[in-house]
Amino acid sequence: MADPTEITTRGAWGPGFWAKFVATGLLLAVVVPVLNLGISPNSFAAVPDYIVPLLGKYVCYAILALSLDLIWGYAGILSLGQGAFFALGGYCMGMYLMRQIGTRGVYQNPILPDFMVFLQYKELPWFWYGFDHFTWTLLMIVLVPGALAFIFGWLAFRSRVSGVYLSIITQAMTYALLLAFFRNDMGFGGNNGLTDYKDILGWDVHSPATRLGLYVASVLGLGAAYLICRYVTRSKLGRVLLALRDAESRVRFLGYSVTNAKLLVFTLSAVLAGIAGALYVPQVGIINPSEFSPGNSIEVAIWVSVGGRGTLVGAAIGAVLVNLGKTWLTGAFPESWLFVLGALFVVTTLIFPRGVVGLVHQLRWLRPRGESAPTPVEDKPIAAEEQA
């Protein structure tokens, strides 16, 4: 159950909130670049170049986690297919990046990406048209995941599929997409996916400056996603969602359309996940069907529950903490990672049902202090640099 004090707090847009929000934003979007560019690389506080895309990756995961918390924490929709929307956004960006390669590919075909030449495509499939334009790509990043979520959600919510059944069909959806994208004749590079990118908007994707730019863009994306989620969850619609999470039929008898409310928030969540995926792909340099694997989507639910479901801030923190742990453990003890992940899920569910944020709230409670408004503590990526 989500912490009521946080959810029902009104006047959530006071100066206190903005101060914390701007401070966190500056820390992430200004301090990190300064520590990367502005000081000597030998200084102990310096952020080395290779850390920047790693931080950027964590920030994208944080956006993905926010998108799940919006529907799971506030509307009780546990989507275990959130990774599918992330991957679709990623594929849109990947298609743009492939079209930017042009004649610099191995086969030097000005139109067709390498894998198409290799698979003996005669011409560009129709759905690749337009992806040489960045604005078209941006449009598709929003529309493709949004449209899939809208159609899927409309079918599911209209027939009142909810709870564990909805979770299972979202898993089936992402698994079906995984199988489809594995096929070479789908036109998305099959097993290998899309990779070997050269540049984005004319900047070399491998240069440290571009990577820093992508990192800052991701931080701005996280900030915007957080504000949107905060707005929605604190609006009257947010209260309708919370009400339907607890007593769905009662909301219907009050005259609200449960289907429309769920559909709106589910589609919004998919769009946010797609944007996260689009920011992610140029920073990791590849998108392939494994991003659709059901396990990925389940992991997102673990991030959210570790951080604290129904808190937004917690989701972002959880994504960063769990992925820090993953980066470290898969390096140090590769075979233990999955056990740790499973144990983490069990422990947080049983012992800390409110996650890290809930724990912080409890600790604060012990100390004599007046107001305990939740802080947007997305400053955790900084911890990444200390660890690394």
In the complex, the residues that contact other proteins under the rule CB under 8 A are: 1-2, 4, 7-8, 232, 235-237, 239-240, 242-243, 245-247, 249-258, 260-261, 263-264
Q: Residue 375 Cβ, how far from other proteins at the closest point, in Å? A: 22
State which residue, 211 or 262, has the beta carbon closest to other proteins. Answer: 262
Q: Residue 252 Cβ, how far from other proteins at the closest point, in Å? A: 4
Q: Residue 350 Cβ, how far from other proteins at the closest point, in Å? A: 21
Q: Which of 332, 333, 269, 260 is nearest to 304 (CA)?
A: 269
State which residue, 57 or 262, has the beta carbon closest to other proteins. Answer: 262
Per DSSP (E only), the strands in 19-61 are: none
Q: Residue 77 Cβ, how far from other proteins at the closest point, in Å? A: 15
DSSP lists the bridge partners of residue 287 as 194
State which residue, 183 or 250, has the beta carbon closest to other proteins. Answer: 250
State which residue, 28 or 242, has the beta carbon closest to other proteins. Answer: 242
Q: Which residue shows structure tokens 């898993």?
A: 171
Triad 232, 240, 233: Cα angle to 5°: 20
Distance CA 288, CA 184 (A): 12
Q: Residue 260 corresponds to which tokens in the numbers above?
A: 């429309």
For the chain, how many residues are written?
388
Q: Residue 32 Cβ, how far from other proteins at the closest point, in Å? A: 34
Q: Residue 159 Cβ, how far from other proteins at the closest point, in Å? A: 13
Check residue 199 and report its DSSP letter: E
State which residue, 226 or 280, has the beta carbon closest to other proteins. Answer: 226
User: DSSP H helical segments within the chain, as ranges?
Assistant: 4-8, 15-26, 32-33, 51-75, 82-101, 114-118, 134-158, 163-182, 208-234, 236-246, 248-253, 258-284, 294-307, 313-332, 337-350, 355-366, 381-387
State which residue, 239 or 326, has the beta carbon closest to other proteins. Answer: 239
